[in-house]
Structure 1
């Protein structure tokens, strides 16, 4: 009797959830798939949907209103705000079809295009870490840190000790770490920071991080801001694994970006949005956090921030518009290429239209299942004329894209489902021929350490590998 009552109650609940799925008017195939899963897989299917199938953007984690309404943020935005028509007047001849990317980010997230910037590419941890530490030692007012992975190792402790030293000298230090990505951090690492006066906050603490390491919302950003004048972002976390230890035969290829100028203010605003969430209070913001820049270089840049707190997949939309704007060349480097249908179609269409499209992927990944899912897309890419290369010198973790001669991006976003729809990510979109050429040169330098995949050889792979890749692709949205 009780079993019958529970069974009826369960299917009533499932029916209500199924109606909710239908009312969201998502992709018909996805809708049908989720409805079948929750009906045909009792309990497990429902749990699976609740963990991974919900429409994240309709369940915003926090409001942006408090920070955007701050008087100093409004003053900065009003001062730098360029209407789309003004941007067209100033830069349309230079940007040409790339203006579409500017408009996408402006209309989807009010991301302001800034003109006075000085971007510097940093290759691998051996270039990034010394420059970041140098800027930390030069801080006079505040240091803001927001990182997915911080480890209690040689690199992590070096940064911690540098932050402690500045805090003891009166510099404000705010520190956000992701509770899953940095699950190895213990009190012995964090306590000295707190005792020195550093404000330390975890992003969305979880009880069992091992069980949720690939699930739910995570703060995948890597941001460092010094005095509101200098900022860093990119693929490099605060961990020893991001250095290159020649004695151990390990090579980790990555790209980071140092920014000086007005674009740092966009980084600052996004940091304060996250700070508001982790502290549950509106931050006290004053002009010291948005100082006047003394940069005179002209380099057009937008900061693209994305996460389940926004109505649109901002970074994915920018990537989509950028690829579609290509006339001659698209160069993509990513460790995790698990694209949604929109990005996959954009890449294929670009190649089919005659645009030279080249993609560098790691020959060996840090996750076998993820690597299998990535490789499941290779045939579709090759069939469309995309050139696919596997980086063999070590693990390539850089997240970059070059489009023609005046658009490139460096940031934290992978080309996968999680980066586009679930995780909090941040990228710099740069409309600058000089830095674009530098990133293009880096791509072709990395190409020397790659082997190209051909469609003929790819189709001769053993069936066991093909099956494992197809199975991994079934769970691709979760990886």
Structure 2
């Protein structure tokens, strides 16, 4: 009896020692990686409160891949060579003065060229976007590059699958990239059917447990279509029924661009880099970057990508710069608002400095935990003078920022830790006053469908609710 108790005591002591050493080791690893302290604290809390699950979550979601390279510098330069060939000197393009440093920033940290003379069509609902995209697919002559975070096997997804198969049978080169985690619920047979029809199909960072556990947290959230190097689509919409039919509680409000002209070359290079990473097939022939006419003399844009690898957080830096340099107003739409400390401070400083800062969020979210954490950040915003609007007709999934009637930015990136730190994203920065004003009208139109948050009422929320929201905020870097 005593011997058994002694053995149990020894085993218990050994477990405690091993567990303590493991936790200490992980903390040392995180410190050595020079992580943001705000991201270190949540992991320590998770590991202390839930040892087994916390350890499992860390190995799946907590590893830092910033120093890894998913593509060699030589290959990256070869792919980027083509869009750079048609690059115009910055002094030829008239970018609003305050945004010249932003142009340089995106050029230095992302090799993003100024792309001149494009035409952009705006979509605010899935039905219009899907109709035009199917029509453009049917007219394709040489290639279709199709990349989505979510490509569902529902009614809308099947419509696009059949259209792509039809073009492949006509001899058009069709390449499809989808995110492995984003499409976890999609049957393998859906993609197998496309492969059997001659379409090249790859899953981005395919997860094969337990070997590639770190890849679960690093997802390709981009939405890119390029047709014959002349027509491109990008923005917030995936391929799924809900973008056309809405949700149980209302419409699905989103923003997407159709680009024709030079801007398509920025989308093409982003796709071909991802394509090489996954397929190891290098495509950089001139045929993928055909000459394009000039549609609008004053349309200048940069297509910028960002991801969890590499030294810089490109989109985060660009957002902070644009916010910090706004002089009149900053209008933002985002489905999730979980800002990094730098972004949070930039918005607070702008509002306190008298800039008209407006933040539009969905009144009802598809993610309860993220929504609770978002509410804790709103407290600071309204105290600083930010005007907050809750979109009521359904789910607001649009990712839009407009500043000073001069800059409009849309893409796949949400205003949260996950988009800026973990996901592969793509955004367009458009330096055209008339276009910024057009996007401002879209924002103003949406305001008519919003409930304006009244600070005095908001700050009187029940203490129990506020504590729960503050607790979820601790985990905002992980949501």
TM (norm. structure 1) is: 0.91
CA gap of 1:95–1:168, structure 2 versus 1, over 3 A, is same
Secondary structure at 1:90 match in 2: coil
CA gap of 1:19–1:191, structure 2 versus 1, over 3 A, is closer
Q: Quote how far apart the aligned CAs of 1:39 are.
A: 6.8
Give the whole-Å Cα distance in 1 for the aligned partners of 2:19 and 2:141: 59
Give the whole-Å Cα distance in 2 for the aligned partners of 1:369 and 1:106: 36
- The correspondence for 2:56, drawn from 47, 51, 59, is 47
Give the whole-Å Cα distance in 2 for the aligned partners of 1:252 and 1:75: 37
CA gap of 1:154–1:454, structure 2 versus 1, over 3 A, is same
Secondary structure at 1:348 match in 2: helix
Alignment check: 8 A CA contact 1:176 1:200 kept:
yes
1:339-359 deviation digits (Å, cap 9, x = unpaired)? 011111111111111110111
* Equivalent residue, structure 2, for 1:293: 292
Give the whole-Å Cα distance in 2 for the aligned partners of 1:240 and 1:179: 19
Secondary structure at 1:146 match in 2: strand
Give the whole-Å Cα distance in 2 for the aligned partners of 1:277 and 1:214: 14
Alignment check: 8 A CA contact 2:147 2:223 kept:
yes
Secondary structure at 1:377 match in 2: helix
* Equivalent residue, structure 2, for 1:173: 174
Q: Quote how far apart the aligned CAs of 1:66 are.
A: 4.8
* Equivalent residue, structure 2, for 1:74: 81
Q: Quote how far apart the aligned CAs of 1:5 are.
A: 5.3
* Equivalent residue, structure 1, for 2:316: 316
Secondary structure at 2:31 match in 1: helix
Matches within 5 A, 1:426-437: 426-437=426-437
Give the whole-Å Cα distance in 2 for the aligned partners of 1:282 and 1:185: 25
- The correspondence for 1:19, drawn from 10, 28, 44, is 28
* Equivalent residue, structure 2, for 1:441: 441
Alignment check: 8 A CA contact 1:164 1:196 kept:
yes
Q: Quote how far apart the aligned CAs of 1:222 are.
A: 0.7
Give the whole-Å Cα distance in 2 for the aligned partners of 1:148 and 1:192: 19
Q: Which runs of 5 or more residues in structure 1 are unaligned?
A: none
Structure 1 stretch displaced more, 258-267 or 13-22 = 13-22
Secondary structure at 2:118 match in 1: strand
* Equivalent residue, structure 1, for 2:92: 90
Q: Quote how far apart the aligned CAs of 1:250 are.
A: 2.9
Q: Which runs of 5 or more residues in structure 2 are unaligned?
A: 1-9
TM (norm. structure 2) is: 0.91
Give the whole-Å Cα distance in 1 for the aligned partners of 2:41 and 2:236: 36
* Equivalent residue, structure 1, for 2:5: none
Give the whole-Å Cα distance in 1 for the aligned partners of 2:351 and 2:286: 47
Secondary structure at 1:295 match in 2: coil
Q: Quote how far apart the aligned CAs of 1:393 are.
A: 1.1
Give the whole-Å Cα distance in 1 for the aligned partners of 2:398 and 2:260: 21
Alignment check: 8 A CA contact 2:148 2:179 kept:
yes
Secondary structure at 1:303 match in 2: strand
* Equivalent residue, structure 2, for 1:162: 163
1:251-295 deviation digits (Å, cap 9, x = unpaired)? 11111001111221121111111111222x142431111111123
Alignment check: 8 A CA contact 1:223 1:233 kept:
yes
Matches within 5 A, 1:222-301: 222-244=223-245, 250-279=250-279, 281-298=280-297, 299-301=299-301
CA gap of 1:96–1:191, structure 2 versus 1, over 3 A, is same
1:150-197 deviation digits (Å, cap 9, x = unpaired)? 111111011111100100000000001111111222133222211110
Alignment check: 8 A CA contact 2:116 2:294 kept:
no
Alignment check: 8 A CA contact 1:215 1:478 kept:
no
Superposition RMSD on alpha carbons, in Å? 2.5
Give the whole-Å Cα distance in 1 for the aligned partners of 2:374 and 2:295: 42
Alignment check: 8 A CA contact 1:330 1:401 kept:
yes
Alignment check: 8 A CA contact 2:93 2:300 kept:
no
Give the whole-Å Cα distance in 1 for the aligned partners of 2:153 and 2:250: 20
Give the whole-Å Cα distance in 1 for the aligned partners of 2:246 and 2:365: 18
Give the whole-Å Cα distance in 1 for the aligned partners of 2:48 and 2:239: 44
Alignment check: 8 A CA contact 1:181 1:213 kept:
no
Give the whole-Å Cα distance in 2 for the aligned partners of 1:470 and 1:29: 14
Structure 1 stretch displaced more, 352-361 or 463-472 = 463-472
Give the whole-Å Cα distance in 2 for the aligned partners of 1:411 and 1:178: 17
Q: Quote how far apart the aligned CAs of 1:244 are.
A: 3.8
Matches within 5 A, 1:2-151: 8-28=17-37, 30-31=39-40, 34=43, 38=47, 42-60=51-69, 62-70=70-78, 73-80=80-87, 82=88, 86-87=89-90, 89-91=91-93, 94-151=95-152
Matches within 5 A, 1:145-224: 145-206=146-207, 216-224=217-225
CA gap of 1:33–1:391, structure 2 versus 1, over 3 A, is closer
